[in-house]
């Protein structure tokens, strides 16, 4: 546990829940007013930031950085591709797809921003807008946060917490109050984002059971449903990521595909297939216009209520989803990660939204707006009203309730694992009571907000929090690009993919002092800092780093008081008279080398040209040798003379 983050975030969550419970009306008014002001004043910033995040991750995927791996170069992915994609899908948008698959397209069809309502043009626009809100823009936000966390955790050895992404900018200061504040911010935003989504999910489960078996639809029943489903989520979270979350995510995907295929077959199949192709074409055709559209010349409230709301919502959710996909993505390359996260869930979402959304619009046109009126009356009943118009509504509604419940469980258990990881300083194995604690707190928050009516207030608070987190995301982007650029140069040298001329230049031209000082700064010092951070995590008391242009030094002292000192220094030596390695400057008779000296082992090793990873390995080898040196027993006291 990181006590400052654990108890600090618990205190913040408690205060916000207390405010929502004691004064739900006042808190709702305050947060709604703040949300309206933020979206109105900073809507342009949300649009520009989301567009920038999308283009940045595409550049990282298809540029030279795409070949970098999220982990050691020789590691394999932790999960097979189907399981990885299933977990991406379940964690990212599961409950939302069930809740809005019918509701959102029908709402845009009944009240489009640019064309007449209830027309074929409205149907086309409804699907393009739905694709925009649930497409690559949302997943680019998730991909950026997930990539940053995965890169610094799996490749650089930093803890799997949000603060680690700021290391290139803040250095060791991420271990202070700034890092604690960032992690606390991520925890309470994640918890309330999950709680509000669970509130939507349980209201939809209640509507489905009311339709199927006549179960009353009220707050008491919904609190009971939360208790049942969170109990299942607790069991899942105790079984861990490999068994609980993974198996439920795979089950989720199978049920979702079966339900979608059923609607595709019994619905207007030919029309849906043609609509899917045309929807994708319209989405691509209007991609850039809608990416940057703010209705600046013809202001309207629709933008704030829909697109800006969605952008803020995805940003607010990104610590949760980004952290989760980072944890499951070790061993993937940057290119594979970004393409998988951007395109695969988006492709499935487009098919899902076309099957449910276009079928709902088609049925609504046939029954004179009955579905749109049901959506307006109660969003949670929209899916079940939709199934009433299709064959086998009892079976499909039952499957839908099961699917929503499983999505509920996967969101709760994956959210608990993510929050527990942040609160524990990036540890993957934590005491069980901590995971149960966060799972219970999520369920308790959702139940309390449903009872007191504060769900809207906390949803608004989460969206307001998206503004400062968008600024944090820009800092994460800067740090990620900076670190990748440095690593890319190191990887190129380490893997000997330099051109022939560059390699001959390295061989034939003796290094200058500036070359060695550059190597110490770019490879030596970061290597020692990485080892120092790892030693701190392992609890070794107060390892110390000293860096100057000519030297990088790591000092360690173990429990018995023995010292280990590893020094990288720039040293000059004369060029041999018979050497053919003549410098271009014939007056230069000395060359410079990067030399490692280790105390108390002794010895001197020339490490010129090694990259950061190779230097880390050398430090670890020397540490291993040092630990093997037996501790000398204290000399026996002389016996007194008789």
Share of the chain above pLDDT 90, in %: 15
Could you tell me if 521 and 460 lie in one domain?
no
Which of 467, 488, 509 marks a domain boundary? 488
Give yes or no for a contact between 358 and 365, defined as CB atoms under 8 angstroms apart: no
Best-predicted range by mean pLDDT (52-61, 394-403, 519-528): 52-61
Share of the chain above pLDDT 70, in %: 84
Q: How far is residue 60's CA from residue 241's CA, in Å, rounded to a whole number?
A: 28
Kindly report the backbone phi and psi dihedral angles of residue 641, in degrees, each rounded to the nearest multiple of 5, phi listed first: -70, 145
Does residue 582 sit within a domain?
no
Environment class of 524 (CB within 10 Å of its CB; exposed 0-12, middle 13-18, buried 19+):
buried
Residue that is written with structure tokens 């960032």 in the block: 182
Could you tell me if 405 and 546 lie in one domain?
no
Q: Kindly report the number of other CB atoms within 10 A of residue 163's CB atom.
A: 26
Q: How far is residue 345's CA from residue 137's CA, in Å, rounded to a whole number?
A: 12
Cβ contacts of 401 within 8 Å, gap of 6 or more: 205, 208, 209, 212
Which letter does DSSP use for residue 449 in this model? H
Spatial CA neighbour of 279 closest among 342, 346, 350, 348: 350
Structure token pair of residue 200: 């939507």
Which has more pLDDT, 145 or 585? 145
The chain-wide mean pLDDT, for the chain, equals 79
Best-predicted range by mean pLDDT (254-263, 422-431, 619-628): 254-263
Which of 438, 457, 488 marks a domain boundary? 488
Residue that is written with structure tokens 């607790």 in the block: 234
Question: What are residue 564's DSSP bridge partners?
Answer: 556
Could you tell me if 242 and 197 lie in one domain?
yes
Could you tell me if 462 and 530 lie in one domain?
no
Domain hosting 605: range is 500-577+588-628
Residue 32 is predicted with a pLDDT of 77
Does residue 520 sit within a domain?
yes
Cβ contacts of 390 within 8 Å, gap of 6 or more: 263, 266, 267, 396
Give yes or no for a contact between 200 and 313, defined as CB atoms under 8 angstroms apart: no
Could you tell me if 335 and 364 lie in one domain?
yes
- Whole-prediction pTM: 0.71
Give yes or no for a contact between 308 and 51, defined as CB atoms under 8 angstroms apart: no
Q: Kindly report the number of other CB atoms within 10 A of residue 42's CB atom.
A: 17
Q: How far is residue 166's CA from residue 185's CA, in Å, rounded to a whole number?
A: 14
Mutual angle of helices 136-150 and 455-494, in 10-degree steps: 60
Residue 276 is predicted with a pLDDT of 94
Residue 427 is predicted with a pLDDT of 66
Kindly report the backbone phi and psi dihedral angles of residue 119, in degrees, each rounded to the nearest multiple of 5, phi listed first: -125, 170
For 325, what's the count of Cα atoms within 13 Å in the CB-facing half-sphere? 33
> pLDDT at residue 14 above 90?
no
Tell me the three state secondary structure of residue 564.
Answer: strand
- Percentages helix, strand, coil for the chain (3-state, rounded to 5) are 75, 5, 20
| CA-to-CA dists, residue 91 to 5, 97, 253, angstroms | 24, 11, 11
Quote the number of domains for the chain. 2
Question: What are residue 409's DSSP bridge partners?
Answer: none
> Band of the pLDDT at 51, cuts 50, 70, 90?
very high
Could you tell me if 276 and 206 lie in one domain?
yes
Give yes or no for a contact between 619 and 531, defined as CB atoms under 8 angstroms apart: yes
> pLDDT at residue 287 above 90?
yes
Residue 355 is predicted with a pLDDT of 94
Does residue 231 sit within a domain?
yes
Q: Integer distance in angstroms from the first to the last C-alpha of the chain? A: 59
pLDDT digits (tens, 9 = 90+) for 554-579: 888 876 677 888 989 888 876 544 34
Q: Is the bond leading into 155 cis (omega within 30 degrees of zero)? A: no
> pLDDT at residue 237 above 80?
no
Residue 116: which H helix or E strand, with range? none
> pLDDT at residue 274 above 90?
yes
- Find the range with the poorest average confidence among 28-32, 60-64, 403-407, 491-495: 491-495
Could you tell me if 201 and 74 lie in one domain?
yes
Could you tell me if 513 and 477 lie in one domain?
no
Q: Kindly report the number of other CB atoms within 10 A of residue 502's CB atom.
A: 12
- Find the range with the poorest average confidence among 258-262, 457-461, 512-516: 457-461
Question: What are residue 604's DSSP bridge partners?
Answer: 597
Question: What are residue 480's DSSP bridge partners?
Answer: none
pLDDT digits (tens, 9 = 90+) for 164-204: 888 888 777 777 778 788 888 778 777 877 777 777 777 77
> pLDDT at residue 125 above 70?
yes
Could you tell me if 254 and 321 lie in one domain?
yes
Could you tell me if 556 and 596 lie in one domain?
yes
Torsion of CA 317, 415, 422, 523, to 10 degrees: -70
Does residue 220 sit within a domain?
yes
Does residue 32 sit within a domain?
no
Does residue 195 sit within a domain?
yes
Kindly report the backbone phi and psi dihedral angles of residue 440, in degrees, each rounded to the nearest multiple of 5, phi listed first: -65, -35
Tell me the three state secondary structure of residue 146.
Answer: helix
> Band of the pLDDT at 455, cuts 50, 70, 90?
low
Could you tell me if 212 and 355 lie in one domain?
yes
Residue 1 is predicted with a pLDDT of 72
Which of 423, 455, 488 marks a domain boundary? 488
Q: How far is residue 591's CA from residue 570's CA, in Å, rounded to a whole number?
A: 10
Which letter does DSSP use for residue 547 in this model? E
> Band of the pLDDT at 494, cuts 50, 70, 90?
very low
Best-predicted range by mean pLDDT (319-323, 340-344, 350-354, 609-613): 350-354
Spatial CA neighbour of 256 closest among 392, 377, 163, 349: 349
Structure token pair of residue 205: 């489960």
Could you tell me if 281 and 334 lie in one domain?
yes
Does residue 566 sit within a domain?
yes
Residue 267 is part of a domain; what is its CATH number? 1.20.1740
Structure token pair of residue 116: 């007449």
Best-predicted range by mean pLDDT (92-96, 343-347, 536-540): 343-347
Residue 580 is predicted with a pLDDT of 42
Q: How far is residue 77's CA from residue 330's CA, in Å, rounded to a whole number?
A: 6
Q: Kindly report the number of other CB atoms within 10 A of residue 62's CB atom.
A: 12
Does residue 19 sit within a domain?
no
Cα–chain center distance at 524: 30
């Amino acid at each position: 546990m990181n006590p400052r983050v654990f108890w600090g975030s618990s205190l913040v969550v408690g205060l916000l829940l207390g405010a929502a419970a004691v004064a739900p009306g006042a808190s709702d008014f305050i947060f709604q007013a703040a949300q309206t002001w933020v979206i109105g004043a900073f809507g342009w910033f949300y649009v520009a930031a989301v567009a920038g995040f999308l283009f940045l991750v595409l550049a990282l995927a298809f540029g030279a950085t795409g070949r970098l791996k999220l982990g050691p170069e020789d590691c394999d992915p932790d999960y097979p591709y189907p399981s990885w994609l299933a977990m991406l899908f379940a964690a990212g948008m599961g409950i939302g797809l069930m809740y809005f698959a019918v509701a959102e397209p029908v709402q845009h069809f009944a009240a489009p921003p640019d064309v007449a309502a209830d027309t074929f043009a409205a149907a086309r626009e409804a699907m393009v807008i739905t694709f925009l809100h649930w497409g690559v823009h949302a997943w680019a936000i998730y991909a950026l946060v997930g990539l940053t966390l995965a890169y610094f955790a799996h490749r650089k050895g930093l803890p799997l917490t949000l603060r680690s992404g700021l290391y290139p900018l803040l250095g060791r200061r991420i271990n202070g109050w700034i890092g604690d504040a960032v992690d606390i911010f991520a925890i309470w935003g994640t918890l309330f984002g999950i709680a509000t989504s669970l509130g939507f999910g349980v209201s939809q489960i209640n509507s489905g059971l009311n339709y199927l078996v006549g179960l009353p639809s009220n707050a008491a029943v919904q609190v009971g449903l939360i208790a049942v489903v969170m109990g299942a989520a607790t069991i899942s979270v105790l079984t861990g990521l490999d068994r609980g979350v993974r198996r439920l995510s795979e089950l989720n995907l199978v049920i979702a595909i079966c339900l979608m295929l059923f609607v595709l077959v019994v619905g207007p199949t030919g029309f849906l297939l043609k609509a899917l192709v045309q929807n994708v074409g319209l989405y691509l055709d209007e991609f850039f216009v809608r990416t940057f559209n703010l209705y600046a010349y013809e202001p309207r409230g629709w933008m704030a209520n829909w697109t800006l709301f969605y952008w803020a919502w995805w940003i607010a959710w990104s610590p949760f989803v980004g952290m989760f996909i980072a944890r499951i993505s070790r061993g993937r390359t940057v290119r594979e990660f970004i393409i998988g996260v951007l395109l695969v869930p988006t492709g499935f979402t487009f098919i899902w939204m076309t099957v449910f959304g276009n079928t709902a619009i088609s049925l609504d046109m046939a029954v004179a707006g009955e579905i749109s009126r049901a959506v307006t009356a109660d969003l949670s009943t929209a899916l079940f009203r939709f199934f009433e118009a299709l064959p086998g509504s009892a079976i499909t509604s039952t499957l839908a309730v099961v699917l929503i419940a499983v999505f509920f469980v996967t969101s709760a258990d994956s959210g608990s694992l993510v929050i527990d990881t942040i609160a524990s300083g990036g540890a993957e194995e934590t005491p069980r009571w901590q995971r149960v604690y966060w799972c219970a707190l999520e369920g308790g928050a959702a139940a309390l907000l449903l009872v007191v009516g504060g769900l809207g207030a906390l949803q608004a608070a989460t969206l307001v929090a998206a503004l400062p987190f968008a600024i944090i995301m820009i800092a994460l982007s800067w740090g990620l690009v900076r670190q990748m650029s440095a690593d890319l140069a190191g990887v190129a040298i380490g893997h000997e993919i330099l051109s022939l001329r560059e390699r001959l230049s390295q061989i034939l031209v003796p290094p200058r002092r500036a070359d060695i000082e550059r190597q110490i700064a770019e490879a030596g010092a970061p290597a020692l800092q990485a080892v120092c951070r790892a030693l701190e995590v392992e609890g070794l008391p107060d390892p110390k780093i000293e860096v100057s242009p000519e030297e990088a030094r790591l000092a360690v002292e173990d429990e018995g008081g023995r010292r280990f000192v590893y020094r990288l220094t720039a040293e000059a030596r004369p060029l041999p008279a018979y050497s053919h390695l003549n410098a271009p400057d014939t007056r230069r008779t000395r060359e410079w080398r990067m030399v490692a000296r280790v105390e108390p082992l002794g010895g001197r090793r020339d490490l010129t040209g090694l990259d950061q990873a190779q230097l880390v390995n050398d430090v670890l080898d020397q540490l291993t040798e040092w630990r093997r040196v037996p501790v000398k027993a204290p000399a026996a006291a002389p016996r007194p003379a008789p």
